[in-house]
Amino acid sequence: MTSFRILFIFFLLADSLLKLYLNHRQIKSIQKNYQQVPNAFTQYITLEEHQKAGQYSLAKLSLAKTEIMYSALILLAFTLGGGLEFIAQYLISSNYPLSSEVSLIIIYTLLSSLLSLPLSYFSTFQIEQKFGFNNMTLGLFIKDLFKGLILSLVIGIPLLYLVMWLMQTLGTSWWIWVWLVLVGFNLLILLIYPTFIAPLFNKFTPLEDLELKNKIDNLLTECGFKSQGVFVMDGSKRSSHGNAYFTGLGSSKRIVFFDTLLKQLSHAEIIAVLAHELGHFKKKHIIKQMIVSFGLTLLGLFIFSLLINQSWFYNALNVQTVNHASGLLLLSILLGLISLPLAPLSSLMSRHNEFEADDFAKEHSNKQDLITGLIKLYRDNASTLTPDDLYVKFYYSHPPASVRIANLER
């Protein structure tokens, strides 16, 4: 027990120190290149725009430092500080053990979200506001919180009851059945998200620009892609950042453009960006990512099945209430601490997928349109053009701007 507790403290310290080190490297890289626009972007981005991106990135990195230390203290409070055990002891007297375990997970999740709320508020109404990206009102911020809470409870409570029931009744094979339930649940969410969930938060309207719609239809036909339609999302009511994405599964797939993106890019650039997104679909990147995610979930559940009845696992983290709910929460905490060392592999795979999608876009659109479209997005979203190489390896799911554009120009 003592050895495992020491190991936990070691991983917590290592995780925090590594994040702080990477954060420091990113800050130094931005500051080093603050006074000069990289040569590849001098004809597209002014020094003022480059420095705004630097200031914006530095502000977010400063908040991230606070978040790293704050999150570590919260984890200590819930584990070695006895927070999780205090909640579990309060609920254990219930005559309904299944409900008490579900309640433990819900209360822990709600408290964690509540504790992270000040940082979320500061990010939105201080940093995003200062740099001209925030369009969200305090009323909408609170409304989103309540909508998200209610939706999480409506969807999450039945799922938790089913998972806890399976763990209590199926003996040593529970982890296989729980995995199958989680896979089915995720696929169901992907299927219903575009039609039933996303509209709770945003308004989606069919694309009205007939000229652009015809160009999109031609591209979709050329690429053999069928969707439920092309929609415009009112992203501008929350932020001025632009984006585009695919959502849904099977026949529920739809293409979504932020209204801000349509204002930022020309038709040709929008087609090029869409061709990139189609590249992800044609190269089956989403399916591959789902397979990897489901595989890791299965591995995590199997590992937990070996620890579920080991009292030392709980006691080492100052939890005496040995049950499925407290065990799942402790496992999620531990997996969070060991995920960062694995991040470079995940990020590398993601950046490889982006290169493949860019190569696909070059075949089905004008590569120069994609380059200028990407540069506009980097500029208008104030993305730094001079990231640190090691920071990129850990955190960047997309290649840095200079690397990505160099690949497109080859």
Annotated catalytic residue, options 209, 277, 356, 359: 277
Rg value, the chain, Cα: 23
Q: What phi and psi values does residue 241 have, to the nearest 5 degrees?
A: -65, 140
The closest alpha carbon to 37, from 405, 384, 357, 323, belongs to 384
Query: Closest Cα partner for 283 from 363, 360, 220?
Result: 360
257 beta partners: 232, 244
- The closest alpha carbon to 311, from 299, 301, 323, 300, belongs to 323
Residue with tokens 């940093």: 127
Cβ-contact 282, 360 below 8 angstroms:
yes
Please give the structure tokens belonging to residue 259. Answer: 């209204």
Q: 70: which 2 tokens? A: 């704050």
Catalytic residue flag (residue 369): no
Catalytic residue check, 358? yes
* Catalytic entry in 101, 354, 358, 380: 358
| Residue 139 CB contacts under 8 Å (≥ 6 apart), including other chains | none
CB burial of 310-326 (b: ≥16 within 10 Å; e: otherwise) equals eeebbbbbbbebebbbb
Region label for 132, one of left (φ > 0), alpha (ψ between -120 and 50) or beta (otherwise):
left
Q: Determine the Cα–Cα distance for residues 203 and 13; give it in Å rounded to an integer.
A: 43
As a whole number of angstroms, the distance between CA 261 and CA 247 comes to: 17
Residues annotated catalytic, as ranges:
277, 358
